[in-house]
């Protein structure tokens, strides 16, 4: 089996790194209130900016802000389910080697990159917006007010990524269960000794535990994912329409933001199913070391379970999010996006 480096056992790699995850883990009510206040301020800001001449756009902005507030409130109420999910992860990851920890660290770094990326988008737009205001007014006072306002908007809208980071990190933790299975199988393949029944059964049990934890996460995010995908894809398409119909830099920035978050989150969700199915090839390579009938039956049970291919997160427990589904759905969205210019040309002529 894989060996643990003693110097690594005391680190905190197994603990959630996101602000929202830490708030749920520690029951820190101050952080809850701070996050809820920020989301509430976003909702109030969109309501205050309501414009009857652009009522559909205004209503969409209100819905967009409210959806994130609702997700935040829902997850706070479901914190017990989340804590049960993470507690098991902490117990398991302490017992495994450096490769698992490197996998967590690498993916966690990729997730965290989202903050500077989105912040850079807001800074670029804020600088552009402030310059335009100054050129129009030639007033340093209005320039300073605009800069302060853009900083304020950057802070409150950056909170949306906190939710994205939380969901993505949950998916990462689920992936690690299947990486542990892979790690155990590789250790058995490298071993010169014959394959023992207890070792194979232990791996199969670990795979079943990984499935159970995936379903627990699916239950936690049962309506969070549908709300998020509807909001994110709707925002992407809405801003694309504005770019075509009435181009403004803000719409391009928002579209890039949504596309980045959509790709990041969907990749981590689909990767759960991918890793679960990849276990088949890993386990199949062990079949050459099987000698007894008892072991052959154990391997057959394992193959049968993996071949079902039903492990992963779902949308409303109806559609399983797999790489194949993502490819098909992405093609559909691209088709719709390419059709939008033609639709608008027909409407304008």
Predicted local confidence at residue 186, as pLDDT: 80
Strands 314-315 and 319-320, how do they pair?
Answer: antiparallel
| Helix, strand, coil fractions of the chain, as percent rounded to 5 | 85, 0, 15
Token pair for residue 244?
Answer: 């075509």
Element of type H or E holding 314: strand 314-315
CA-CA distance, 166 to 21, in Å (whole number)? 6
Comparing 142 with 338, the larger pLDDT belongs to 142
CA-CA distance, 302 to 299, in Å (whole number)? 5
Q: How many angstroms separate the most distant Cα atoms in the chain?
A: 86
**Contact present, 84 and 216 (Cβ < 8 Å):** yes
Parent domain of 111: 6-348
Predicted local confidence at residue 52, as pLDDT: 67
Residue 161 lies in a domain: yes
Give me the percent of the chain exceeding a pLDDT of 70: 88
Predicted local confidence at residue 73, as pLDDT: 92
Q: What pLDDT digit, counting tens, does each position of 5-45 carry? A: 433 344 566 677 788 888 888 887 887 888 888 888 888 87
CA-CA distance, 268 to 314, in Å (whole number)? 13
| Range ranked top by mean pLDDT from 195-204, 261-270, 307-316 | 261-270
- Count the alpha carbons within 13 Å of 265 in the hemisphere toward its beta carbon: 22
Give the total number of structural domains in the chain.
1
Give the alpha-carbon dihedral of 125, 129, 131, 137, to 10 degrees.
180
CA-CA distance, 291 to 295, in Å (whole number)? 7
Predicted local confidence at residue 334, as pLDDT: 80
69 has a pLDDT exceeding 80? yes
Q: Where are the beta strands (DSSP E) in the chain?
A: 314-315, 319-320
Q: CA Rg, the chain, in Å? A: 24
Out of 88-97, 146-155, 204-213, 323-332, which region has the weakest mean confidence (pLDDT)? Answer: 88-97
Residue 285 lies in a domain: yes
Per-residue pLDDT averaged across 183-210, rounded?
79
Out of 85-99, 227-241, 267-281, which region has the weakest mean confidence (pLDDT)? Answer: 85-99
345 has a pLDDT exceeding 60? no
**Contact present, 126 and 32 (Cβ < 8 Å):** no
Element of type H or E holding 320: strand 319-320
Residue 1 lies in a domain: no
Residue 325 lies in a domain: yes
Predicted local confidence at residue 95, as pLDDT: 57
Give me the percent of the chain exceeding a pLDDT of 90: 17
Question: How would you label 76-87 residue by residue, b for 16+ Cβ within 10 Å and e otherwise?
Answer: bebbeebeebbe
Predicted local confidence at residue 1, as pLDDT: 45
- Count the alpha carbons within 13 Å of 302 in the hemisphere toward its beta carbon: 29
**Contact present, 189 and 286 (Cβ < 8 Å):** yes
């Amino acid at each position: 089996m894989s060996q643990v480096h003693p110097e690594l056992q005391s680190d905190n790699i197994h603990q959630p790194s996101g602000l929202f995850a830490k708030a749920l883990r520690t029951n820190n009510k101050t952080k809850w209130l701070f996050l809820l206040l920020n989301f509430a301020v976003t909702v109030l800001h969109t309501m205050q900016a309501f414009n009857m001449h652009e009522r559909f756009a205004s209503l969409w902005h209100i819905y967009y802000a409210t959806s994130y507030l609702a997700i935040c409130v829902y997850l706070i109420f479901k914190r017990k389910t989340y804590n049960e999910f993470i507690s098991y992860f902490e117990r398991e990851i302490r017992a495994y080697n450096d490769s698992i920890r490197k996998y967590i660290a690498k993916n966690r770094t990729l997730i965290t990159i989202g903050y500077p990326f989105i912040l850079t988008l807001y800074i670029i737009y804020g600088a552009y917006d402030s310059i335009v205001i100054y050129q129009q007014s030639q007033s340093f006072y209005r320039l300073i007010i605009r800069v302060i306002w853009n900083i304020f908007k950057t802070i409150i809208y950056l909170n949306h990524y906190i939710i994205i980071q939380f969901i993505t990190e949950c998916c990462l933790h689920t992936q690690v269960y299947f990486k542990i299975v892979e790690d155990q199988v590789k250790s058995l393949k490298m071993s010169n000794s014959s394959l023992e029944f207890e070792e194979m059964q232990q791996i199969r049990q670990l795979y079943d535990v990984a499935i159970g934890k995936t379903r627990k996460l699916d239950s936690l995010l049962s309506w969070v994912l549908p709300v998020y995908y509807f909001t994110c894809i709707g925002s992407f398409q809405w801003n694309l329409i504005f770019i075509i119909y009435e181009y403004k830099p803000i719409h391009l920035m928002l579209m890039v933001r949504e596309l980045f978050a959509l790709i990041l989150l969907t990749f981590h969700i689909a990767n759960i199913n991918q890793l679960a199915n990849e276990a088949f090839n890993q386990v199949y390579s062990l079949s050459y070391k099987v000698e007894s009938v008892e072991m052959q039956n154990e391997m057959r049970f394992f193959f049968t379970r993996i071949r079902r291919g039903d492990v992963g997160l779902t949308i409303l427990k109806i559609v399983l999010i797999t790489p194949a589904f993502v490819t098909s759905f992405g093609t559909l969205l691209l088709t719709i996006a390419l059709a939008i210019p033609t639709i608008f040309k027909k409407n304008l002529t």
